[in-house]
Amino acid sequence: MELEKKLIAYFEWFHKNPELSYEEYKTTAKIREILVEAGVELLPCKLETGLVAVIRGKLNGPVQALRCDIDALPVMEETGLAYASCQKGKMHACGHDFHTVSGIGCALLLQERREELAGTVKIIFQPGEESSLGALKILETDEIDDVEMIWGIHADPTNEAGVLSIRQGYVSAAVDRFVITVKGVGCHGAHPEDGVDPILAAAAMVQALQSVVTRNVNAFHPALLSVTRIEAGNTWNVIPEQAVLEGTVRTMNREDRILFEKRMEEIVRNTAIAYGAKAAMEWIAGCPATYNDEEMVQKSIRTADKCNLKVVPEESSMGGDDFSFYEEKIPGCYIKVGTGKGWAIHQPGFRVDESVILSTVHYLTELFLDI
């Protein structure tokens, strides 16, 4: 019971003190303070924010890792919690405070049970997951080069508290961003024949780009394209010189990801030509799709049964997670933990049922002890 009280107090501190991607200085300091006081070893990786803890078991075994992301979102909290964010416009609206305290609790228990632990466990407190690139900060160090398998958890407000969602295969999408700049010739709105309208060309592109999903990608492959920003002009009676489109592409299949970039570039270039304009597309690659290793999934389910936790099939999501960058190098398993049904993640009313903290910590601990 004492451990649960400590963990809830830590959780509430992290929730009250959210920090955005790559600004997690106080968060990192707090994690360090807790772990050092408990005698947990910290690796000397050169990170501005974030850290890696290590627990070395007394028995021979593999090197495993747990990824816990630590950053918050630029969201104004509306939960009404007594421990709501003290930082205006910043909130742990994705459960990373829950992930962080789960990693801390797991480290504390494994430290106490080193005699039972076969191998080594590294707990990664990763910055900048919401940037989709924070995992690369960890991978730029050599601190996890020896890791043989990696685990990740994520808060899930679509399930009851403590219910685990686990499934083999792809569970979240690759995340890519595009910015399209359409160049025309500005002119008076009453005399469009004197110029080249980039808005007309951009509007045609918005429609035509959807054909990649409906006509180029296998209908059984999850994929989507969303244009999320259109910007052009600054007054009502002038046709501007330029229009900008921005958006995201989400795919599960590697070949589809390559196909999207190629087809979109062709559509943008040729649509611009058809309207007498010029256009260029910038493709900003994000994280790849997240894939759950079959053997690790089976182990996760066995451990859940041992801990008397309910398991349901994990639903695929077109959202992404930079956990997938680790999986380009080592097998991984990404588990969703029910945090109580309610507001969706990234929403101002999202909250975590505190009752799931201790059960999650015990589950993760058993996951690493059960070799």
Summarize the annotated binding site for Mn(2+) as residue ranges: 94, 96, 130, 154, 346
Residues 6+ apart with CB under 8 A from 130: 20, 21, 69, 71, 72, 73, 94
Axis crossing angle, helix 25-37 with helix 96-112, rounded to the nearest 10: 20
Distance CA 342, CA 290 (A): 25
The answer to whether 113 and 101 have CB atoms below 8 angstroms apart is no
- CA–CA separation, 70 and 103 (whole Å): 10
Tell me which residue has tokens 């807790």: 34
Annotated binding site: 94, 96, 130, 154, 346
Any idea what the Cα angle at residue 128 is, between residues 56 and 227, rounded to 5°? 140
Per DSSP, the three-state class of 124 is strand
- Dihedrals φ, ψ of 143, to 5°? -75, -20
The answer to whether residues 225 and 197 touch, using CB atoms and an 8 Å cutoff, is: no
Helix boundaries (H) for the chain:
2-16, 25-37, 96-112, 134-139, 198-211, 254-274, 294-306, 323-327, 356-369
Q: Return the biggest CA–CA distance within the chain.
A: 82
